[in-house]
Amino acid sequence: MMAENQDFHNKSGMYFLLGSMVFVIMFFIYVVVFHKGVDLGEKFEAPPSTDAPVYDLASEKEPWVSNENIVSAGAKIFKQNCATCHGEKGNLVGGVPNARNLVVGQWTQGEGIMNHFKVLQNGIKDAQGNQTAMVSFSAQLKPFERWAVLYFIETLTNNKSKDKPEDVASFAQTAQ
Ligand code: HEC
């Protein structure tokens, strides 16, 4: 009698154990497969991606043909190398008075982007042949950087280059 009773208890214990195991497994499957996660009402902002592609001006195949990336790279070059004299916006505001107002664009060394390129190559000498404050940038700026800064100036000057793209392209092959 005693033994039978024990046997009965063991069996129901076994069913209970099996039942809870099945429940745990089903719950696990539900959580893993179906449940979309717990919404705590918090908004997570993805941190700014650190592996965003960095624009590389040096890899431009034709840096003498303007595009958006070249102009914005040129804006940085201008800020670093030219703004102290010509002003942040090229209009001499915050610059030095005897530098050229690039927005007005009364060019003395010839019109157009090819002549500007030569200015960056050679600097400007005064009538007596003395070096002005506008020195050569050929040591500081590589040709592709000079094209970039000049295409930035093209976006702010009122006296824009009328040089033909094909002339600029063939000039650029030899310009150092
Ligand atoms: C130290 C001051 C100084 C800095 C820096 C400077 N410039 Fe000049 N720039 C001048 C002066 C001064 C003139 C006018 C020279 C003259 O004709 O007597 C000038 C003239 C010019 C001209 C006019 C050319 C023409 O035909 O009239 C251009 C274009 C120019 N600069 C571009 C640049 C660029 C691009 C940079 C930066 C890479 C730069 N400058 C940096 C002082 C500066």
pLDDT of residue 26: 86
Sign of CA dihedral 157, 58, 133, 121: negative
Per residue in 148-169, pLDDT tens?
999 999 999 999 999 999 999 9
Q: Which residues line ligand 1 (CB under 6 A)?
A: 81-82, 84-86, 98-100, 102, 107-109, 116, 119-120, 124, 126, 132-134, 137, 149
Task: Average the pLDDT over 37-59 and give the result.
Answer: 77
- The chain-wide mean pLDDT, for the chain, equals 90
Give the CATH number for residue 78: 1.10.760.10
Residue 57 pLDDT class (50, 70, 90 cuts) = very high
When divided into structural domains, the chain yields a total of 1
DSSP annotation string for 29-66: HIIIII------S--PPPPPPTTPPPP-GGG-S-TTS-
pLDDT digits (tens, 9 = 90+) for 128-150: 999 999 999 999 999 999 999 99
On whether residue 6 sits in a domain, the answer given is no
Range of the domain at 121: 62-174
Q: Tell which phi-psi region holds residue 41, choosing left (phi > 0), alpha (psi between -120 and 50) or beta.
A: left
User: Does a structural domain hold residue 87?
Assistant: yes
In a domain, 89, yes or no: yes
The CA-CA-CA angle for residues 168, 131, 129, to 5°, reads 95
> Is 77 within the bounds of a domain?
yes
Question: What is the spatial distance between Cα 143 and Cα 140, in angstroms, rounded to a whole number?
Answer: 10
* Predicted confidence (pLDDT) at residue 48 exceeds the cutoff of 90: no
